[in-house]
Structure 1
């Protein structure tokens, strides 16, 4: 399937209801494979995919993408009814939160993470499980971190980007360095940078993660809506 994605306009609703679609047919099209029925990130950048609609043609296109790139993660406002040739690998309730406060002036010791940092980033995300992170995820946006005692102690970055909005993701801290404010400090730096571009930060968090949700609320994020995460694969013959 071609890596050139044709832009298909989907009318109605808030742009964040179809954040992945709007990103991969817009600002982040260079990281996408698919067509005007289904798109997804290159597997090396992440598993996220989106459908134009619930037609059989769109699911056929998604099936081809999964066959080529591996299981796909759909983030949708409503439950997805899958045809019989698909299987559910994971299903979870997400809370989509959006920034609604003036950015604060902040300073936090940090480094900009670049390609040579990817092995350390992969090790940290594997150990802390903040969400999918691949060898090319760093290319999606700005990633920053904190180095302590010769190791990557914490990181955070930008993942899904569409007109007017940027998602903060991969917020994680090595257990040995927790409780020192690194996650909040890095997030505040990202928030300020995103707002300076005239964009609005948003994020996704598991609805069951009450501790993280409380922190995000305190920082200035508010709940926009519930979302559904559905990781799908194709049924093997």
Structure 2
């Protein structure tokens, strides 16, 4: 990747809102947020700018995140409270390590928005919105007549697309469904001529799976979680 493309990975939410997802941006004097109906994420360049922006965005969303590699956002505690800092990491595909796909993987249309939402909130509650579906393509595996495993695409720029919402219903884990969906989604991103990336929490057991597929940890990526006071 070129230096300019690598730079975007340092601040993926910011550059997504500058490029592919610019139609979803709410900008408070240089602090950029997604429209909260799409995704409760924001990003910044200068941490000193965030306090007033947080006070404004909390009027639209009671709970939300700022995402940053290593900067600590400023905050005014009259209106907004920091709930927690989630220590995460960014992973970028080096070279995809092929593995057999045996399941039928279905592109998910608008008809499945409710099922996607319910599955994500069952497995990873807290961040997903129904219109997060609009951020990229989603794929799923069905068993026993129901959607049991999905992957999706979230943050996007001209040079990368993020693999996200890798979830499987608890009754259908340990069958390799998430692995096959991650491979499929990764291939779709490569077909689009972009670099696949993903984010996860530090220490997540899924990191080993992603590494076996060819992803490498590149940097910290922290998620500052706020709520209305």
Give the alignment of 1:112-191 within 5 angstroms.
112-129=107-124, 132-191=127-186
Contact 1:21 1:50 in 2 (8 A): yes
Structure 2 CA distance for aligned equivalents of residues 75 and 228 of structure 1: 6
Structure 2 CA distance for aligned equivalents of residues 165 and 207 of structure 1: 21
Contact 2:38 2:132 in 1 (8 A): yes
The residue aligned with 2:206 is: 212
| Inter-CA distance 151–80: structure 2 relative to 1 (3 Å threshold) | same
Runs of 4 or more off by more than 6 Å in structure 1?
none
Q: Which runs of 5+ in 2 are unaligned?
A: none
The residue aligned with 1:88 is: 82
Structure 2 CA distance for aligned equivalents of residues 66 and 39 of structure 1: 13
Q: How far is the alpha carbon of 1:176 from its aligned partner?
A: 1.3
The residue aligned with 1:69 is: 61
Q: How far is the alpha carbon of 1:35 from its aligned partner?
A: 4.1
Q: Which runs of 5+ in 1 are unaligned?
A: 1-10
Greater Cα shift, 120-129 or 96-105: 96-105
Q: What's the Cα RMSD here?
A: 2.1
Greater Cα shift, 35-44 or 220-229: 35-44
Q: Secondary structure, in 3 states, of the residue corresponding to 1:40?
A: strand
